[in-house]
Each structure stands twice: as C-alpha cells, then as structure tokens.
Amino acid sequence: MTKIKVGVLGATGSVGQRFVQLLDGHPWFELESLFASERSAGKKYRDVSKWFLPSEMPAEAAEMVVQSLNDVDTSENEDIAIMFSALPGSVASEVEKRCAQAGYCVASNVSVHRMEPDVPLIIPEINADHLALIEVQKEKRGWDGFIITNPNCSTIVMALSLKPLMRYGIKEVRVSTMQAVSGAGYAGVPSMAILDNVIPFIESEEDKMESEPLKILGTVEKEGSGIKNAAFNVCASCHRVPVMDGHTEAIWVKFKEGVTEEEAKKAFKDFTTDIKTPFAPEKPIILREEQDRPQPRLDRDAGRGMSVSVGRVRAGRMENEVKYIAQGHNTVRGAAGASILNAEVLVARKYV
C-alpha cells in the first residue's frame, strides 16, 4: 500500500517527540512535516528537540526542517492527509480548526475540542462506533476535514480498565493517580519541585478524569447526533510523582450489585476487541497476578507501551466494591500511541 503522508503539530515537545519516534518505520504512515513554535521554525529537528535518548532519534526526522504553524495549510503540505496534534491547548484550538477546514484529518491529543458534542473522543477498543460523529461534524461545520481526539493520559488508563467492568453495572468510581513527570511536558515540573516530593495538584486533571470517561463509555444517540454519557459519577484526586514515564492509578469501583474479586479478574483477563491495526496491542489489558504489580518501571512498556496493566484486584470494604491498581504509559498509550491507533482505525474504516 502507498504510505499515507502525515504531519505532527508540536513535534518538538514531550508528546511530539514520541510521535516522531513511534511513526518511524510505521507500515502505513510516512512522516512528511514537523511543526512547532517560532522558536523552532526554520531549524533542523535535531537541533530543537531535546530528545530523551539521542540514539533513538530517527535519522530522517533529525534532518527535517521544522515549520511554523503559519505553514500548515500551504501548498507545500497539501499531500498530507493526517495531522497529529500535540500543541498546548492555548494554540491548538485555532490551528486544529484551520487544519480541518483545509481538509486534513486532525488526530489530536489536546483537550480543547474533546468534549464538543460533534467531536469523537476515541479509545478504539471501547468506542470506535463513536466515529459516526465525523459525518455530523463535517456537515455541521462545513469542513472538508475533521477533528478526532484521544482522551487525557490518565483517563485512557482508567477508561480502558473500566470497560470490561461495565457489564456488571457501575454505580460510582473513585480514583487516586500517581502521574509521571513526562505528563507535564518537557518544560513541565521544575526538578527542585518534584525530586524527593509529591505534588498533590495537576491543573484541570481532575475535571478531565471526571468528565471524559463518561463520554467515552457512553453510547451514540440515534443518527449519530451526539453521545449519551455513561450513567455513573467519577471522583478523582490527581498527584504528580517523581516517575519519568507511566501513570499509576488506584481505582475503587462501586457496583449496583455485588461483584466478586474473581469475576472482576476474569473480566480483565477475558477482555478482547476486534481492533487489529498495527498499533493495536494484542492484549489491551494485562492482568498482573503478582502482589506488588503493576509498577511503572516494570509494566509501562507492555504491548510496546500500548497495553494497560491491572493488578491488586480485590474486594473493597464498602458494599459492592472492587478496588485495583491500573498502570499505563502516559506518552504512548496515553498520548502519541493513542492518536496513531485512532488514525489507523480511521484508515481501516475508510474515513481517510
């Protein structure tokens, strides 16, 4: 198959660099253009991306000249079909809309459009049917292209783990996160603040964790007009910890009726999906039976960073409650890998 040309907005950031790394050698996609701020525009990628592991920088990307966001819709970039976005929210809204208007499919990591009623918020193993919103969006906004989004990094880990439990009737979810520093971006949290420390506040994170899962686990309303949210509440407390990559989450799920530890474990173990594209992990959820798992250093790269590990599944003290730990790679499963998987599903289902 002829490879589909793709671009990356915010290519020099924490997530942008992960995109460049993961797109290297991708069987369907070919990296055509890299975009970042005026600080980086006009310079070679290797000179402006603070690559975590220099030996891992793809050679072709290293020599590419970074473009300004002003150039996204110029004729030089007209062969691009998919634009991946890893921009800060403050600049993403206008640029992503401009890209969709120009005919690109925008696969975005950014939160700004996630909760708009006609924008799909996708974890393909859960809700690929929500892609039906694309036609509604294009018609409503008069765009040739469209925007699809993936959730916040912590939301992805939790929502994937909740999906197999949905059949038992979830009444309420509580979650306490231990989130890696890479989740705050390259400039992120100052080292003097995070070393030997835990920071019990992450701007806007709790709102995202409490709202996004309900849209993702919701159902498409008739004729694809919108999403009916899942009918339970999520209560989140989010914390930054001195871990490089990999978010860990303690989750308490209260069910309408009793669910045993064994039933919950079986639900995790048996979870499969029909998503079979290159980035789809063989097992979206891996059940860890060891009593001290999952851990970020041991488990974040499971399924090439695309599997979520679940462990310490046990009955809670409250009525009808099961509690467990979920862990996933925040810049792979929770960001760049999630967008790439979404884009693959768009291709497989002929939206691109």
Return d(Cα 198, Cα 214) in angstroms, integer: 28
Binding mask 71-100 for ligand NAP (x = CB under 6 A): ---------------xxxx-x---------
Let me know if 105 is a catalytic residue: no
Among 110, 134, 220, 302, binds ligand NAP (CB under 6 A): 110
User: 178 and 241 in contact (C-beta within 8 Å)?
Assistant: yes
Number of residues that bind ligand NAP (CB under 6 A): 31
Among 6, 7, 10, 251, binds ligand NAP (CB under 6 A): 10
Among 4, 6, 7, 16, binds ligand NAP (CB under 6 A): 16
3-class DSSP state for residue 328?
strand
Residue 29: HSE in the Cβ half-sphere, 13 Å Cα cutoff: 32
327 binds ligand NAP (CB under 6 A): no
Residue 330 one-letter amino acid: N
Q: Determine which one of 113, 130, 247, 329 is catalytic.
A: 247
Q: Work out how close the CB of 347 gets to ligand NAP at its nearest, in angstroms, rounded to a whole number.
A: 22
Q: Work out how close the CB of 209 gets to ligand NAP at its nearest, in angstroms, rounded to a whole number.
A: 12
308 binds ligand NAP (CB under 6 A): no
List the one residue out of 274, 325, 284 whose CA is nearest residue 304: 284
Tokens representing 119 are: 């924008």
Which alpha helices (DSSP H) does the chain contain, by range? Answer: 14-23, 45-48, 59-63, 89-101, 124-127, 133-141, 153-162, 191-194, 205-216, 261-270, 296-299, 337-348
- β 146-149/105-108 pair status: parallel
Among 120, 164, 183, 296, binds ligand NAP (CB under 6 A): 183
Binding mask 214-253 for ligand NAP (x = CB under 6 A): ----------------------------------------
CA angle at 35 for the pair 127 and 206, rounded to the nearest 5°? 45
Name the DSSP letter for residue 180. Answer: -
Smaller CB distance to ligand NAP: residue 15 or 230? 15
SS3 content of the chain, % helix, strand, coil (to 5): 40, 25, 40
Residues 149-168 that bind ligand NAP (CB under 6 A): 152-153
Binding mask 19-38 for ligand NAP (x = CB under 6 A): -----------------xx-
Let me know if 329 is a catalytic residue: no
Phi (first) and psi of residue 194, to 5 degrees = -100, -30
Among 51, 132, 138, 185, binds ligand NAP (CB under 6 A): 185
Q: Given the rule CB under 6 A, which residues bind ligand NAP? A: 10-16, 36-37, 39-40, 69, 86-89, 91, 109-111, 152-153, 182-183, 185-187, 330-331, 334-335
Active-site residues, by number, are 153, 247
